[in-house]
């Protein structure tokens, strides 16, 4: 199994001192040519074997793939996340022109000092009226997502909206409809769906390696950052809902419940617990908090054959697959004969080649605009997440009521 490191819990793995053919002192095993002469030379001297280090022939350079590039792209909002978009758009050479928009002069100045070729403006209308701008990234407060994305689409611009897509299913559906009518790209910033560990988890589950999924448990907690316009569910749980729907192959839950509490008297919940019920008795739990002493980003998937743990805070080995499980005796005549057997096997650590998810998301957005492709996290994907969030919010206001998805929430 070349794609896995296997750890036997009884016999921990030890280093052999080499990695990828390079020893600890940094020396590699180069190609050696031995020039050996048998016998004596004219003077009667014996020529010894002489090792000569030769360079491996350099392979012909492969032709570089033509990178998709837009004539222009805009970024609206230079607060917490917008500058990361500017950085990745700049590094990926996504467009000939990058125009950043924000009302705050200090933010515009700060970002423009980082990138000398960056254009800035305080007017959103400048982006809408610029014929060279093909796509706009909306990284503004959640409450403005719908209005700004709607105006951009109506102006003929493709749009990437940071999560969540909108604050209601009605708004999300309208954006999807508008994008289709205008034949434009509508994409949602569900960044984790572009991360290598989440993609690897999806492949592992889809392959059937862990068996049928029994339940998923996700925790996303840290101290802060408190938001003023949305509660912790809309802020943090959006990520986990997106990940879980991805792992479930796009299946939506049948019902959702949510409980939470606000501890600072503003009516904005800072801790919450969501329950998502899927068909075939699959259940998912999401715990989110702005009030936790530790930064936790962990997802556990328990299957009928194996169990998987994804820890996004781990510097390495973010995914571990545990060959552990429970087997119940199929046939028994009395309760006394009923028993479980427990399996404790090895731990597998999949090899993951990581790349910044936002960079991958940036390239995907540009490619979809240029080629007319449907994004992996398109408007429909974003609307599904909003549906779950809306149901969770409805449940939260009613003490944790289990709300069927698709039911009238008003």
- Please say if the pLDDT value at position 215 is more than 80: yes
For residue 326, being part of any structural domain is answered with yes
For residue 333, being part of any structural domain is answered with yes
pLDDT at 39: 39
Residues 6+ apart with CB under 8 A from 407: 391
For residue 169, being part of any structural domain is answered with yes
How many angstroms separate the CA atoms of 252 and 298, rounded?
21
- Please say if the pLDDT value at position 112 is more than 50: yes
For residue 32, being part of any structural domain is answered with no
Do 130 and 146 lie in one domain? The reply is yes
For residue 158, being part of any structural domain is answered with yes
Q: What is the total count of domains within the chain?
A: 2
pLDDT at 65: 52
Do 218 and 331 lie in one domain? The reply is yes
Do 344 and 226 lie in one domain? The reply is yes
Q: How confident is the model at residue 14 (pLDDT cuts 50, 70, 90)?
A: very low
pLDDT at 388: 98
Do 201 and 96 lie in one domain? The reply is no
- Please say if the pLDDT value at position 45 is more than 50: no
Do 136 and 198 lie in one domain? The reply is no
Q: Which ranges of 74-225 does DSSP label H, i.e. alpha helix?
A: 82-91, 105-114, 124-128, 145-154, 169-182, 196-206
Do 211 and 97 lie in one domain? The reply is no
- Please say if the pLDDT value at position 329 is more than 60: yes
Do 138 and 166 lie in one domain? The reply is yes
Do 216 and 278 lie in one domain? The reply is yes
Phi, psi (degrees; rounded to nearest 5) at 292: -140, 140
- Please say if the pLDDT value at position 136 is more than 50: yes
Is residue 381 within 8 A of residue 111, CB to CB? The reply is no
- Please say if the pLDDT value at position 68 is more than 60: yes
Distance separating the N- and C-terminal Cα atoms of the chain: 53
CA 393 to chain centre: 24
User: CA 146, 78, 129: angle at the middle one, nearest 5?
Assistant: 60
For residue 33, being part of any structural domain is answered with no
For residue 39, being part of any structural domain is answered with no
* Token digits of residue 183: 């034949």
Do 181 and 198 lie in one domain? The reply is no
Do 177 and 258 lie in one domain? The reply is no
Do 149 and 212 lie in one domain? The reply is no
CATH label of the domain that carries residue 341: 3.30.360.10
Tens-digit pLDDT profile for residues 237-288: 999 999 999 999 989 999 999 999 999 878 899 999 999 999 999 999 999 9
For residue 276, being part of any structural domain is answered with yes
Q: Select the more confidently predicted residue: 143 or 36.
A: 143
Q: What percent of the chain has pLDDT over 70?
A: 80
Q: At 268, is the secondary structure helix, strand, or coil? A: coil
Neighbouring CB atoms inside 10 A of 159's CB total 30
How many angstroms separate the CA atoms of 314 and 261, rounded?
29
Do 119 and 168 lie in one domain? The reply is yes
CATH label of the domain that carries residue 128: 3.40.50.720
pLDDT, average across residues 182-198: 98
Which residues form the domain of 231? 193-353+386-403
pLDDT, average across residues 311-332: 88
């Amino acid at each position: 199994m070349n794609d896995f490191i296997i750890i036997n819990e009884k016999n921990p793995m030890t280093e052999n001192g080499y990695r990828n053919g390079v020893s600890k002192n940094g020396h590699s095993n180069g190609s050696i040519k031995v020039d050996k002469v048998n016998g004596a030379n004219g003077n009667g001297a014996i020529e010894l074997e002489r090792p000569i280090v030769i360079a491996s022939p350099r392979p012909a350079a492969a032709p570089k793939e033509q990178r998709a590039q837009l004539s222009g792209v805009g970024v609206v909002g230079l607060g917490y996340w917008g500058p990361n978009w500017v950085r990745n758009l700049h590094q990926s050479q996504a467009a000939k022109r990058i125009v950043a928009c924000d009302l705050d002069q200090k933010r515009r100045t700060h970002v423009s000092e980082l990138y000398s070729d960056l254009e800035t403006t305080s007017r959103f209308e400048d982006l809408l009226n610029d014929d060279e701008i093909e796509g706009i990234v909306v990284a503004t407060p959640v409450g403005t997502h719908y209005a700004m994305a709607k105006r951009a689409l109506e102006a003929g611009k493709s749009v990437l909206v940071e999560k969540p897509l909108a604050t209601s299913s009605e708004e999300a559906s309208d954006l999807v409809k508008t994008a289709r009518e205008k034949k434009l790209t509508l994409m949602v910033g569900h960044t984790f769906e572009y991360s290598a560990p989440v993609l690897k988890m999806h492949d592992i589950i889809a392959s059937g390696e862990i068996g049928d999924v029994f339940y998923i448990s996700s925790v996303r907690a840290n101290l802060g950052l408190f938001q003023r316009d949305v509660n912790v569910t809309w802020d943090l749980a959006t990520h986990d809902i997106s990940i879980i729907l991805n792992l479930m192959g796009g299946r939506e839950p049948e019902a959702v419940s949510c409980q939470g509490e606000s501890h600072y008297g503003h009516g904005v919940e800072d801790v919450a617990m969501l329950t998502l019920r899927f068909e075939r008795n699959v259940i998912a739990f999401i715990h989110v908090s702005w009030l936790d002493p530790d930064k936790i980003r962990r997802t556990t998937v328990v299957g009928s054959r194996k169990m998987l743990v994804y820890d996004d805070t781990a510097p390495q080995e973010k995914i571990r697959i545990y060959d552990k499980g429970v087997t119940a005796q199929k046939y028994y005549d009395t309760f006394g004969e009923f028993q479980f057997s427990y399996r404790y096997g090895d731990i597998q650590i999949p090899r993951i080649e990581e790349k910044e998810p936002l960079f991958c998301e940036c390239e995907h957005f540009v490619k979809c605009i240029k080629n007319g492709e449907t994004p992996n996290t398109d408007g429909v994907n974003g609307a599904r997440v909003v549906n779950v969030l809306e149901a969770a919010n409805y449940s939260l206001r009613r003490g944790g009521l289990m709300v069927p998805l698709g039911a009238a929430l008003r």
